[in-house]
Amino acid sequence: MALDRDRRRRGSRRVLAAALSGAAAFGAAGAAVAQVEGDAGRRSLAPLTVTVNPGLEQPVFDAPASIDVIPGEVLREGQLQVNVSEALARVPGVVALNRQNYAQDLQISLRGFGARSTFGVRGIRLYVDGIPATAPDGQGQVSHFDLSSAGRLEVLRGPFSALYGNSSGGVISLFTEDGGPDTVAHLGTAAGSDGVQRHNARLSGESGSLQYTLSALRFRTDGWREHSAAERTTLNGKLRWRLSDDTRLTLVGNGVDMPGVQDPLGLTRAAFEANPRQAVAGATQFDTRKSVRQQQLGLILEQRLDADNDLRLTAYGGERSTLQVLAIPVAVQAPPTQAGGVVDLDRSYQGLDARWIRRLRWAGRPATVTAGVAVDQVREDRRGFENFAGATLGVIGALRRDEDNRARNFDQYLQAEWAAGERWSLSAGVRHSTVRMRSRDRFIAPGNPDDSGSVRFSAFTPALGVVYHLSENANLYASAGRGFETPTLNEISYRAGGLPGLNFDLKAASSRQWEVGAKLKDGSGWQLQAALFQASTRNEIVVLSNTGGRSVFQNAGATRRQGVELAADGRWAAGWSGRLAATLIDARYRSGPFDGARLPGVPRTQVFAELAWEHRPWGLQAALEWRRTGRIAVDDANSDAAPAAATANLRLSLEQAVGRWTLREFARIDNLADRAYAGSVIVNEGNGRFFEPAPGRSWLVGISGSYRF
């Protein structure tokens, strides 16, 4: 379509400008800092460190929080390498539902935060190589996460996620693997059920002071359901220069292109039980589909000032464009305030984060203090069109909406970690966030007045944690914090009752969280982590109605999420290993008309178990996975629910070393018992089309080769 092509051209021309504008201040500061001469040698990072607090790395085992790290090898082991949900099932407290609908984003929630999302990922902060994948308004995307080149995936739950600012029910961070010391070229391909194809290539290495990793992935599928075909191309790159013993500069860039991805829409219970592979009639009548394109660049400067002080500057910019055709009936679009059935959305964004890290001693004990500021902004050009022209459906018609929307945050944060004694360590921090949103209406017509307006939110979000080191192999911890969550630009887009204008009456939600936990390990490699948690929220932002492609939100009083998480993994003799991740959560409304009802989209129980066997002389690996997701309520009234479902998956792989080549073949079968179940639900869907079916038994085979120069 001409409009789609024009929008893509605008995005390609503007993404570099957006990145450079976000990096302008960075460039000037970076040039000055690079002149500082240090007297220390090259720093080495401790293994198994995580960023529980922004800019504050510490060992996973000693962190006063629930956090899991999934290595890149596990992300790729016998997997499609397209959806981050493939690996997140291994993490307790996380619900990552693959909707089998690439026109809609994955449904990801952490301890119940984010479950209501109807567009993008909500309630969770997302990062790729330290670059935010969550906008200032709290809306995030994971479609550009490149698993084929990932070094690790970190998942943080609990109170300390509040130190990341707005919409921090948890934090998911993906890190691209570092290149070197050898130069390695990798090629892979896979094929499976329903026309699935995946081809990927990666080149990594080290040349002098430069480390590099470059990757590309191409994916397509005919879809398990009718009208659900999709294709996706992703590019990802990381270049890291060591300019001196004290200065390191990293350039990261990635992009994703998803043209014309089909949307089969959700099904009613009757339709789901009759034929789960069908699409809604409106989906084929209007050819419901979505095209997405995103490009971004980021720069990170790490400068050691002296033996006790470091400076880190991060700047980024990019653009994401979306064109979506919805199945809104023609008659529904008659009122002058109706925004049409086609959404044309361009988002340009940029940001800057500057932090200072100081190591010192307090009361004779080592401490680390981090202070910083972060500024992020997004500009959104939103237009709406009719999804018909005359008698022709599913095409771009007359203009019905035209807005210039903006969101900006300005955050300041201070964090510290202190080894208070031989057995005690303390972590504390506070962040102040100010979020401003503004909308300028450019479509004013009879019956559709000027709907321009603005709103401002601000909050302090403190967190405090303590760890008691019972022994070298046992830690007990407790933490508490307070977070907040503003509505997104998408969530204020519509008012109840079809009224014109934006829903600036929505308030920010505020939460109080605490958790206590234990972490145990032994010399043989076994690890155990358990946590008891609770989060109480006021002014929870929930779906009021979801119909005709329009989601209206409201504040619904108080909610409470409480539960327990358990994770254990380790190895036995003779090549056997296992992993268990289990979650029990009770998430309910605590006031209002739905007092006592379960929060929709949040299963009460979730279990992942894996039993694996490896025979190194043959290069053989085999694993059996078992996943169970509990009953999921579909709406606030709990009028229906997706039944609990359990599935088993099997994967096998072989590896051979032939000279400089390493060859690897794999096969996997998902849903071995061919069970019929709902993979996810559309929360509060106004037409009763709550259910998104999961596929039956499916297979995937692949081969890859790596050449080491």
Query: How does pLDDT run across 660-692, given as a tens digit for each residue?
Result: 999 999 999 999 999 999 999 998 888 899 999
Residue 585 scores a pLDDT above 70: yes
pLDDT for residue 610? 97
Residue 17 scores a pLDDT above 50: no
**Consecutive H or E run containing 698:** strand 698-708
3-class SS string, 285-350: HCCCEEEEEEEEEEEEEEEEEECCEEEEEEEEEEEEEEEEECCCCCHHHCCCCCCCCEEEEEEEEE
pLDDT for residue 51? 59
Which residue has tokens 């051979």? 656
User: Tell me: the pLDDT tens digits for 430-452?
Assistant: 999 999 999 999 999 888 888 89
Q: How far apart are CA 279 and CA 267, in angstroms?
A: 8
pLDDT for residue 684? 86
pLDDT for residue 1? 46
| 70 contact partners, CB below 8 Å, separation of at least 6 | 87, 90, 91, 152, 153, 155
Q: How far apart are CA 135 and CA 367, in angstroms?
A: 32
- Cross-strand pairs, 628: 607, 646
Q: How far apart are CA 590 and CA 557, in angstroms?
A: 8
- Is pLDDT larger for residue 411 or for residue 337? 411
Query: What is the CA 318 to chain-centroid distance, rounded?
Result: 17
Residue 236 scores a pLDDT above 50: yes
Average pLDDT over residues 593-615: 95
Are 664 and 707 a contacting pair, CB within 8 Å? no
Q: Which amino acid is at 689?
A: R
Outline where DSSP puts E strands in 35-110. Answer: 49-53, 56-59, 66-71, 94-97, 107-110
pLDDT for residue 27? 36
Residue 39 scores a pLDDT above 80: no
- Cross-strand pairs, 91: none
CB-based burial, 246-257: b 16+ in 10 Å, e otherwise: bbbbbebbbbbb
Residue 55 scores a pLDDT above 80: no
- Cross-strand pairs, 35: none
Are 462 and 429 a contacting pair, CB within 8 Å? yes
Are 465 and 51 a contacting pair, CB within 8 Å? no
Average pLDDT over residues 72-80: 93
Between the alpha carbon of residue 365 and those of residues 44, 62, 414, 421, the distances in Å are: 22, 17, 19, 7
**DSSP SS3 for 520:** strand
**Consecutive H or E run containing 405:** strand 399-418
Between the alpha carbon of residue 569 and those of residues 1, 441, 525, 528, 576, the distances in Å are: 51, 54, 8, 7, 11
In this prediction, residue 552 has a pLDDT band, given cuts at 50, 70 and 90, of confident
- Of 39-48, 60-69, 495-504, 580-589, the one with minimum mean pLDDT is 39-48
The top-scoring range by mean pLDDT among 30-44, 93-107, 152-166 is 152-166
CB atoms within 10 A of CB 28: 10
| 150 contact partners, CB below 8 Å, separation of at least 6 | 72, 75, 76, 174, 175, 176, 177
Q: How far apart are CA 461 and CA 483, in angstroms?
A: 5
User: Tell me: the pLDDT tens digits for 265-292?
Assistant: 999 999 999 999 999 999 999 999 999 9
**Consecutive H or E run containing 627:** strand 620-629
Between the alpha carbon of residue 388 and those of residues 65, 316, 385, 549, the distances in Å are: 52, 38, 9, 15
Nearest to 481 by CA among 535, 413, 433, 518: 535
What does the mean pLDDT of the chain come to?
89
Are 655 and 77 a contacting pair, CB within 8 Å? no
The top-scoring range by mean pLDDT among 20-24, 30-34, 299-303, 552-556 is 299-303
Residue 104 scores a pLDDT above 90: no
pLDDT for residue 56? 59
- Of 40-54, 106-120, 222-236, the one with minimum mean pLDDT is 40-54
Residue 31 scores a pLDDT above 80: no
Are 150 and 252 a contacting pair, CB within 8 Å? no
Outline where DSSP puts E strands in 133-183. Answer: 150-157, 170-176
In this prediction, residue 4 has a pLDDT band, given cuts at 50, 70 and 90, of very low
Average pLDDT over residues 643-653: 96
**Consecutive H or E run containing 692:** strand 691-693
pLDDT for residue 19? 38
Average pLDDT over residues 466-481: 96
Average pLDDT over residues 414-421: 93
pTM: 0.90
Q: In the numeric block, which tokens belong to residue 125?
A: 């902060």
Q: How far apart are CA 610 and CA 626, in angstroms?
A: 6
Which residue has tokens 């960023």? 51
pLDDT for residue 412? 97
| 7 contact partners, CB below 8 Å, separation of at least 6 | 321, 323, 344, 346
Bond prior to 181 in cis (omega within 30° of 0): yes
Average pLDDT over residues 291-310: 96
**DSSP SS3 for 507:** coil
| 270 contact partners, CB below 8 Å, separation of at least 6 | none
pLDDT for residue 33? 33
Give domain limits for the chain. Answer: 2-202+210-437+453-708
Query: What is the CA 489 to chain-centroid distance, rounded?
Result: 18
Average pLDDT over residues 345-365: 95
pLDDT for residue 607? 97
Greatest CA separation found in the chain?
A: 79
pLDDT for residue 549? 58
In this prediction, residue 57 has a pLDDT band, given cuts at 50, 70 and 90, of low
Q: How far apart are CA 645 and CA 347, in angstroms?
A: 38
CB-based burial, 546-582: b 16+ in 10 Å, e otherwise: bebbbbbbbbbbbbbbbbbbebbbbeeeeeebebbbb
Measured torsion, CA atoms of residues 134, 137, 138, 143, in degrees rounded to the nearest 10: -40
pLDDT for residue 541? 86
Residue 121 sits at the vertex; the CA angle it makes with 115 and 124, to the nearest 5 degrees, is 80
Average pLDDT over residues 417-430: 94
Q: In the numeric block, which tokens belong to residue 290?
A: 């979505």
2-202+210-437+453-708: what fold?
Maltoporin; Chain A (2.40.170)
Average pLDDT over residues 132-137: 91
Are 321 and 271 a contacting pair, CB within 8 Å? no
Between the alpha carbon of residue 326 and those of residues 284, 289, 391, 511, the distances in Å are: 11, 7, 16, 34
Outline where DSSP puts E strands in 572-604. Answer: 576-589
pLDDT for residue 49? 55
Through-space distance between the first and last CA atoms of the chain, rounded to whole angstroms: 45
